[in-house]
Structure 1
Amino acid sequence: MHIVENNGGKSGSRLHRFMDIELELGPAVLVPREETAILGNAAIAILKDRAPGAHVIDMCCGSGNLGLAIASKVPSARVWSADLTDSTVAVARRNADRLGVADRVTIAQGDLFGAFDGLDLAGSIDLVVCNPPYISSARLEGDRSELLESEPREAFDGGPYGLSIHQRLIREAQAFLKPGGWLAFEFGEGQDRQVAALLARARAYAPVSFATDISNAPRVAIARKLDPA
């Protein structure tokens, strides 16, 4: 974590550096971890191999860190970000304004892809990225309860097995991705086999590849949507 200073403008807010951009954080949002930069760098590498003007969705955007890092480092990209709560969305919108990319980053509020109802994005997206909650509810009541002391439960609670949002993400992203588009998302240490099984069961993606952390543990899944033809 790299908290750089207090920000007196908003109660409880502070500034944080992630992938060379400075973000406002607050009690309503997750503090971006170093593992999430693995996802961000993988996303940028994918986009640099695609034509300019890529369309990107950043799901479960929190402070907006992933979508805003992508928009900052890939100036031709158009990003749609979403999260569930109004307080989180407000922070992400302030960060888009702070970084001067609000003209290319739309931040919507809603339940996963339902946030984009009426925007006509189906079948138009080159890349979906997501850092979903992935800790089981039971662990948040036990050995990981310290996480809830200063950050919101919604940022961590992934349901009974930690993969409830992943299941929906894999299923619902299909309608938004172009054939040949990419889905990339973070997951918890030791969840790679379950993630691979979920993607295989969807029968909509090529075999998954994984990006690893500094200890060589898989932490990011990268899967290409198959062409139905």
Structure 2
Amino acid sequence: MGLDLVLSGNVLVPRAETELLCRHAVALLAAAEQDDPLVVDMCCGSGNLGLAIASAVPRARVLAADLTADAVKTAALNAARLGLADRVSVRQGDLFGALAQDGAEKRAIMIVCNPPYISSARLADESAHLLENEPREAFDGGPYGISIQQRLVREAPAFLRPGGWLLFEFGVGQERQAAALLARAGAYEPLPPLRDDDGRPRVAVARLHPDSATQARERPSLG
């Protein structure tokens, strides 16, 4: 994404798939008619996604959050090094719980996320090599690899403004699960996923319905 970032063995090394998400997010924000858009970067890791958005969209403000202290420290350091600390704030906590003191409810025009999406079983087997130099928290998506996606889709409407965007990365072969999560939530207008250079769906794109509260009551929760 063209940024000079500090990385360590305690944060995820950015992958090419996240650039796909970032480019689309920047394009949507560039077309948005809002002077001071708030973007939430959930599971921010090194801060690469939120910082790239802030760099490309000078009027945007970013709230970035991660579960681990190492990631929060690294993202804050990168924001300072890039001269973006005045528009990028970094919080620590469990998903949206990290933003509890920011008064961000119903204010974000966009939420972006590169969540963990590998199943715990795969990390114990064919994907175990990923844990040699990067933290488990960056990869482990629970028994089926979609635990964080489930929570993200369920909790994001409380922080999105009507018509706001939700974009999140998912693993190869997870497009049906991602689409099902968005459909069951009942709060979103799902859009076609973004595809990588090999034509594989890799990023979910959805827009919050203006009447999302009504829509959500009409469908069962994810539990």
Q: TM-score, normalised by structure 2?
A: 0.93
Q: 3-state SS of the aligned residue for 1:206?
A: strand
Across the two proteins, how many residue pairs are aligned to each other? 211
Q: 1:220 aligns with which of 177, 186, 203?
A: 203
Q: 3-state SS of the aligned residue for 1:208?
A: strand
Structure 1 segment 30-41 matched on structure 2, within 5 A: 30-41=12-23
Q: 1:46 aligns with which of 28, 33, 38?
A: 28
Aligned residue identity for 1:41: R
2:98 maps to 1:108: no
Give 2:162's aligned residue: 179
Aligned residue identity for 1:204: A
Aligned residue identity for 1:49: A
Structure 1 segment 1-229 matched on structure 2, within 5 A: 19-51=1-33, 52-228=35-211
CA distance in 2, matches of 1:139, 1:31: 19
Q: CA deviation at 1:208?
A: 2.9
Per-residue CA distance 1:53-109 (angstroms, 9 max, x = gap): 211000000000000000000000000000011111001000000100000001000
Q: CA deviation at 1:119?
A: 1.1
Give 2:218's aligned residue: none
Q: TM-score, normalised by structure 1?
A: 0.91
Q: 3-state SS of the aligned residue for 2:187?
A: coil
Q: Quick one: percent identity of the two aligned structures?
A: 59
CA distance in 1, matches of 2:71, 2:203: 23
Unaligned residue ranges in structure 1 (runs of 5+): 1-18
Q: CA deviation at 1:49?
A: 1.1
CA distance in 2, matches of 1:46, 1:186: 16
Aligned residue identity for 1:50: A
Equivalent pair of 1:210/1:218 in contact (CA under 8 Å): yes
CA distance in 2, matches of 1:120, 1:98: 27
Aligned residue identity for 2:112: V
Q: 3-state SS of the aligned residue for 1:25?
A: coil
CA distance in 2, matches of 1:87, 1:62: 9
